Amino acid sequence: MGRASEAMKAYVWDLPTRLFHWSLVLLVIAAFVSAKIGGNAMLWHGRFGLTILGLLVFRIIWGFAGSTYARFTQFVRGPAAIRAYLQGAWQGLGHNPLGALSVLALLGVLALQASTGLLANDDIAFEGYLVPLIGSELSSKITGIHELLETVLLLLVAAHVGAIVYYVRVKKHNLVQPMLTGWAAGKPEQSATGGGAAAFVIAVLIAAGVVWAASGALLPPPPPAPPPSAAPLF
């Protein structure tokens, strides 16, 4: 009977949630590395940031239209649930009440980081896609916020990774494998429901629309450069 219960699995993380998670991991690393390289790599830094923004928009929509454990209403809980978790009295699948705070913090800081990046510049050759909306002076101030948020993001990522290591080493609970396979220990009747193709397509289209607008596609074209003045004959 014990072996049978250990073998029971519940489908927790749907494919879109897993794709979002690992795509975000890779893109954040790529954005960080390209920013440190600088120079021409800043063009890619901007593209990575724009893609991260699209992923975040998708995740917010999926947090309402996705399957059970991807929804904010399922894993964002109040102080009572957090207290119960800290006392060891909480049981459930998906994000635990304390982990949910980490997820919200990461999503929030990443959203601010991506948004300020649209309005930032590197004082050399690169500027965010929407800098023409605000001008260089305000852009320089926002660049300072963008750089400060990098430190905050690194601290949150370190805490997130530390929590995963703690769960693996101390609690003997692998949080990574379910995010790879979608399956976790649980009862089959606890498996996630909802989500579906229609919700996914709508979320992707809205995210793509936001990325298109954030890329500066709606800005008026810059004025044409004046023709070069003719050199005097004498």
Is 1 inside a domain boundary? Answer: no
At residue 202, does pLDDT exceed 50? Answer: yes
In the prediction, which pLDDT does 3 show? 44
In the prediction, which pLDDT does 111 show? 98
Q: pLDDT band for position 115 (50/70/90)? A: very high
In the prediction, which pLDDT does 8 show? 87
CB within 8 Å of 14: residues ≥ 6 apart: 66, 67, 69, 70, 182, 192, 195
Is 4 inside a domain boundary? Answer: no
Mean pLDDT across 50-54: 98
Is 230 inside a domain boundary? Answer: no
Q: pLDDT band for position 89 (50/70/90)? A: confident
Is 171 inside a domain boundary? Answer: yes
Mean pLDDT across 60-77: 95
- Number of domains into which the chain is organized: 1
Q: pLDDT band for position 229 (50/70/90)? A: low
In the prediction, which pLDDT does 230 show? 56
- The CATH number of the domain holding residue 124 is 1.20.950
CB within 8 Å of 23: residues ≥ 6 apart: 55
pTM of structure: 0.90
Domain that holds residue 178: 10-217
Is 23 inside a domain boundary? Answer: yes
